[in-house]
Amino acid sequence: MVGSGIAGLTYALEAAAQGTVCILTKSLAEDTSTRWAQGGIAAVIHPDDRFECHVEDTLTAGDGVCHRDAVEVLVHEGPQAIKSLVEWGVQFTRVGGRKSAYDLHREGGHGTARILHARDLTGAEIERALLEAVRNHPSIRLVENRLALELVTPHFLVGKRAEDPLACHGVYALDPESGLIETYLAGATILCTGGVGQVYQHTTNPNIATGDGIAMAWRAGARIANMEFIQFHPTMLYDPARPSFLISEAVRGEGAILRDSRGVAFMENEHPLKDLAPRDIVARAIDRRMKELGDPCVYLDLSALHHGEARKKFPTIHARCLESGLRMEKDLIPVVPSAHYLCGGIDTDLNGQTSIPGLYAVGECAHTGVHGANRLASNSLLEAVVFAKREEVIIRHELDSVRRLMWDYVGIVRCTDRLLRARRQLRSLLVEVEDFYKQTVITPSLLELRNIARTASLIVECALRRKESRGLHSTLDFPEHAPDASRDTLLRHRV
């Protein structure tokens, strides 16, 4: 299994009851997107909430592209997923003592408060508990600092015959310290490699989110779906002098209001849910307002919170804002949209099976159909649980080129001309990267560049195929929904 976020660790703990599990992770086990998740995990646990409401909220946010059967699985199995997390040691915030009710937040797109959280460090708490359980399990082996290189498929095997069926038998991985390539064979290979945020210049994702699993699966011949649906989180703290930092949607759920540089609460006329509208709507409204006024950011106004509430409810965000000289309850907090989450990925069925026998995908790298054209806030962690240096200057230059290209041409609002330009430049760059890959020493940076370039190309191809605006995919050339386009955008690489 490749990946040590919530999806990988959950799968490992479940599978270890039936046999041995080996987890490969490209850095330290704690270095995952899961660890940075602030808001929480959505589930129907309050007696006044209903499964049908969570389903409908998810379908509405997904803008007609969700697979209803996958959404039903997600929602109905959500409470059991929460129970499992608690049994593994996750401590969600409660209203009072240890046996009191959970403190539930409300986030954008949700009709009610159903977000369990651990203050504003939910992901870190989940990662802590699951890693502790994994490290204490006798049937799980955790191998850190291994970069998955390729999937072991018939075209790599000695003695392959032309009639051998396509199947996955494990992974090849690089040990960056020794420079050796290791082979890990397995009856079932599970990709839990997370997202693709590093494809973009501005992202809330950690440095490891380079599309590795998706690119490997594509090269092996797996079916890929809906890569055009990239979710931009509306509110990343705008502080060019420091690393990116997410301001959780739960802050708006507690009453924070978005304002432009003139003080106008611009979400009032954008959507009935105003500042708690689905993320695609909020991100586009912010993008539009910034362009109209020529501003680098908009602002979050938290003055509606009572004194001391921000520090109590969001201690991590409060501390980070102080580092930037901002007091959450008195100062306007500058924010901008930032690439955040991939709603497409390696196409799977409801059991995580990809189009390649023996290969499974879970978590953000997988396309289960749950998120459709736009992920509902805090459904991602739930999905993961439920569906269980000579060349360095050249590489860095090429990597920056891909990110700038994606940010400029394949961002929040798109058009066919810019997408075609991106396609031409990426095709040329992919040829250069592949030549470089074959002729030089393999390094972690080169592997990530190769995967980022391929993942960026898949995003562009999916975006070009969808001749409409829907959910997270907004194009000036096709501003309306197409009547027959609520289907998935599927790509397949012939090997």
Residue spans of the domains in the chain: they are 1-229+343-388, 232-339, 389-480
**pLDDT, tens digit, for every residue of 459-492?**
999 999 999 999 999 999 999 999 876 789 999 8
Rounded to whole angstroms, how far apart are CA atoms 104 and 116?
5
- The arithmetic mean of pLDDT across residues 175-180, rounded, is 91
1-229+343-388: CATH number: 3.50.50.60
- The arithmetic mean of pLDDT across residues 383-412, rounded, is 82
Instruction: Give the bridge partners for 175, in sequence order.
Output: 180
Q: Is domain 232-339 annotated with CATH 3.60.20.10?
A: no
User: How does 272-292 read in b/e, with b if 16+ C-beta sit within 10 Å?
Assistant: eebbbbbbbbbbbbbbebbee
**How many angstroms from the chain centroid is the CA of residue 347?**
15
Give the side-chain half-sphere CA count within 13 A for 38. 22
Model pTM greater than 0.85? no
Check whether 31 has a pLDDT greater than 90.
no
| 140 Cβ contact list (under 8 Å, min separation 6) | 12, 13, 16, 20, 21, 22, 23, 134
389-480: CATH number: 1.20.58.100
Catalytic residues: 279
Q: Is 401 exposed, middle or buried (0-12, 13-18, 19+ CB in 10 A)?
A: middle
- The arithmetic mean of pLDDT across residues 446-450, rounded, is 89
Q: Please tell me the predicted confidence (pLDDT) of residue 274.
A: 92
For residue 56, CA distances in Å to 71, 74, 96 come to 9, 12, 31
3-class secondary structure per residue, the chain: CECCCHHHHHHHHHHCCCCCEEEECCCCCCCCCHHHCCCCEECCCCCCCCHHHHHHHHHHHCCCCCCHHHHHHHHHCHHHHHHHHHHCCCCCCECCCCCCCECCECCCCCCCCCEECCCCCHHHHHHHHHHHHHHCCCCEEEECCCEEEEECCHHHCCCCCCCCCCCCCEEEEEECCCCEEEEEECCCEEECCCCCHHHCCCECCCCCCCCHHHHHHHHHCCEEECCCCEEEEEEEECCCCCCCCECCCHHHHCCCEEECCCCCCHHHHCCCCHHHCCHHHHHHHHHHHHHHHCCCCEEEECCCCCCCHHHHHCHHHHHHHHHCCCCCCCCCEEEEEEEEEECCEEECCCCCECCCCCEEECHHHEECCCCCCCCCCCCHHHHHHHCCCCCHHHHHHHHHHHHHHHHHHCCCEECHHHHHHHHHHHHHHHHHHHHHHHHCCCCHHHHHHHHHHHHHHHHHHHHHHCCCCECCEEECCCCCCCCCCCCCCEEECCC
Q: Please tell me the predicted confidence (pLDDT) of residue 441.
A: 66
Q: Please tell me the predicted confidence (pLDDT) of residue 117.
A: 92
Lowest mean pLDDT segment, chosen from 101-110, 186-195, 253-262, 436-445:
436-445
- Assign residue 140 a region: left if phi > 0, alpha if psi is -120 to 50, beta otherwise? beta
Backbone dihedral angles phi then psi of residue 73, each to the nearest 5 degrees:
-60, -50
Contact status, residue 153 vs residue 357, Cβ threshold 8 Å? no
**pLDDT, tens digit, for every residue of 125-152?**
999 999 999 999 999 999 999 999 999 9
pLDDT category of residue 365 using cuts at 50, 70 and 90: very high
- Mean pLDDT estimate for the chain: 89
